[in-house]
Structure 1
């Protein structure tokens, strides 16, 4: 899920402010480990799985290749779909000129969320961090989630490193925990200073005076995972995103996924990501990964399209969502086609055919 999950709630805002705290937590995530100064070609092996095996699996995924797509309605009106990477790495921020030109000429830009505040009240509500902790009467402990032991260590270290205090692993709501895990420790070095690609594109839209549509409320993920009936989905989210916190000794894995993204091989990045998670989470991994995807990708893709639909009918939309939302039978490309749109890939420099 290295291309997923852009949110900015009150929880994340406080995380930005506190990211310099907890100096000894997530100690492996040093500048040297995190910094990617040269984009590699994809290695022969990712996640201890031969590249050919991963490529064979990716070949089964519809629309597995391509980041940029043209959307044409039956009336000839056009919009564009761009798969983002939620990273502030300089290679990721170097968005192709064709994509930037399209954004500049758009009537409307639509992103997963619009994190700007709509009113003084919305600002006040967010910076007061409502409903971050469980009620005082709660008897919940993190161990109730029955996750692999390593997961507890990684999550404890992460929230400690964000300044929340590791002891709050038992007191933060499940939605709050998921929010805190969405940002990689390697992004801490740029947090609040250099935007991720989504925020960069939104900034460019802002400069150009292009209106922005948020496809879902900023607080949606937290609100969803805080509901008792969604606890199993929250458990899956926490486990999978915690697996990305496993100690690393080099930027090799993240660099490989970024290289795949720049080459447009989104499906291959997805199957490699799954293989890495399965290698870390043991027998529960398949079920956890599928449970998470059922909401984080599949359900939200339907909701994104419903939110964007009226605007797409008018044309002139620059629709930007995480690249993992594009491929697959329930991906944005096929969902748009099912709605009657013609969706065609636009190859970009550096991408494979």
Structure 2
């Protein structure tokens, strides 16, 4: 089948997986702090750019577009952001899929979600540590190897001279002095590079991602705020994958260049439509089958989504037992046979999509 994908060139699956991973991890909210610490954060917020890859694909390769649509349609629970959780003896609660971004299109709740959020007595997010950056960093510094190389290793020492020069150039263009991140683990650096300039600038100016906004508003209104993980838990998930995987992902993400804007724009558009089951089919279609690594893909999905979903359900149970909770987690955790919607059903809940 002819493959004409708007993100072009044969971008490696590793970089695409990492870009998606950034939207199931919640540690991004302190990237602004890291940028501000360099003293070179953007003074002004640039306009967001990027085009909808799916619209381009629909026009250029209808057969490929239909294949993506068919795979998304076959994904269990692939449509909808808001789900009602019901169990005998418990007051109903709600599960809502978020994007960990500060884009106004994301941070404005749909009407049904706003109604459920306003009525909830408890707001649950992935981790409450991001609400207190000093406490969060203190916790992370107990395990510094999750963020930094603690031996003689540097990022440059793991890269070819050409790739090292490309990384340094990309950092300079983002106002990040390479020397300040020379000891940073590649997954931390990938998080900065994979976000559009407008999103980085918003974070640097203090704009909260959706999850943080929900939690801060809840605290201000006297609601109880609970978390399901720690930031260290999330970083351990990233660290569990091979270092070579992350280094290749860093380089391949850089090679995407401005196409990162298209990927993020497309994800926001899909998110607004509630088409969360279309994320993975779209990105899988961007990589020819002969470059796909089934074992690596399975390890990635297990570490970043499936295993964490099970932990989230276990930690959510006592909170949901009190009833009237609004649980907001990354939307990519919801769909699929091993997604949170199915996991909660397995845990005895009746789970219903709310349009």
Question: Cα distance 1:219–1:337, how it changes in 2: closer, same or farther (>3 A)?
Answer: same
**What do residues 196-244 of structure 1 show as CA deviations (whole Å, max 9, x unaligned)?**
2112212221221112112111232334545xxx241x54456457655
CA distance in 1, matches of 2:135, 2:98: 30
Alignment counterpart, residue 280 of structure 2, candidates 270, 276, 279: 270
CA distance in 2, matches of 1:240, 1:19: 27
**Structure 1: which 5+ residue stretches go unaligned?**
24-29, 348-353
Is 1:96 the equivalent of 2:116? no
Question: Cα distance 1:3–1:221, how it changes in 2: closer, same or farther (>3 A)?
Answer: closer
**Structure 2: which 5+ residue stretches go unaligned?**
1-19
The residue that corresponds to 1:107 in the other structure is: 121
Superposed displacement of residue 102, structure 1: 1.3
The residue that corresponds to 1:166 in the other structure is: 178
Alignment counterpart, residue 7 of structure 1, candidates 27, 30, 38: 27
The residue that corresponds to 2:227 in the other structure is: 214
Is 1:319 the equivalent of 2:327? yes
CA distance in 2, matches of 1:85, 1:182: 15
Alignment counterpart, residue 66 of structure 2, candidates 52, 60, 63: 52
- How do 1:227-246 residues align onto structure 2 when only pairs under 5 Å count? 230-232=240-242, 235-236=244-245, 239-240=248-249, 243-245=252-254, 246=256
Superposed displacement of residue 270, structure 1: 2.5
Is 1:247 the equivalent of 2:267? no
Question: Cα distance 1:266–1:193, how it changes in 2: closer, same or farther (>3 A)?
Answer: same
Superposed displacement of residue 163, structure 1: 5.6
TM-score (norm 2): 0.76
CA distance in 2, matches of 1:17, 1:296: 28
The residue that corresponds to 2:96 in the other structure is: 82
Question: Cα distance 1:153–1:215, how it changes in 2: closer, same or farther (>3 A)?
Answer: farther
CA distance in 2, matches of 1:129, 1:76: 38
TM-score (norm 1): 0.76
The residue that corresponds to 2:15 in the other structure is: none
SS at match of 1:190: helix
Question: Cα distance 1:201–1:218, how it changes in 2: closer, same or farther (>3 A)?
Answer: same
Question: Is this contact kept in 1: 2:80–2:275, CA < 8 A?
Answer: yes
Question: Cα distance 1:261–1:10, how it changes in 2: closer, same or farther (>3 A)?
Answer: closer
Select the structure that is richer in helix: 2
Superposed displacement of residue 71, structure 1: 0.2
Is 1:297 the equivalent of 2:305? yes
The residue that corresponds to 1:193 in the other structure is: 206
Superposed displacement of residue 97, structure 1: 2.4
The residue that corresponds to 1:204 in the other structure is: 217
Alignment counterpart, residue 132 of structure 2, candidates 117, 129, 132: 117
Question: Cα distance 1:194–1:315, how it changes in 2: closer, same or farther (>3 A)?
Answer: same
SS at match of 1:193: coil
Superposed displacement of residue 103, structure 1: 1.3
Superposed displacement of residue 253, structure 1: 3.9
**What do residues 94-152 of structure 1 show as CA deviations (whole Å, max 9, x unaligned)?**
2112212211221211111111239x76665669994543234x356667589xx87x6
CA distance in 2, matches of 1:14, 1:216: 22
**What do residues 237-277 of structure 1 show as CA deviations (whole Å, max 9, x unaligned)?**
5645765551126954433322211111111122113333x
Give the total of aligned pairs.
327
The residue that corresponds to 2:271 in the other structure is: 261
Is 1:308 the equivalent of 2:316? yes
CA distance in 2, matches of 1:182, 1:44: 21
CA RMSD of aligned residues (A): 3.9
**What do residues 278-318 of structure 1 show as CA deviations (whole Å, max 9, x unaligned)?**
36x98255554432221111111111111111111221111
Question: Is this contact kept in 1: 2:241–2:300, CA < 8 A?
Answer: no
Question: Cα distance 1:222–1:260, how it changes in 2: closer, same or farther (>3 A)?
Answer: closer
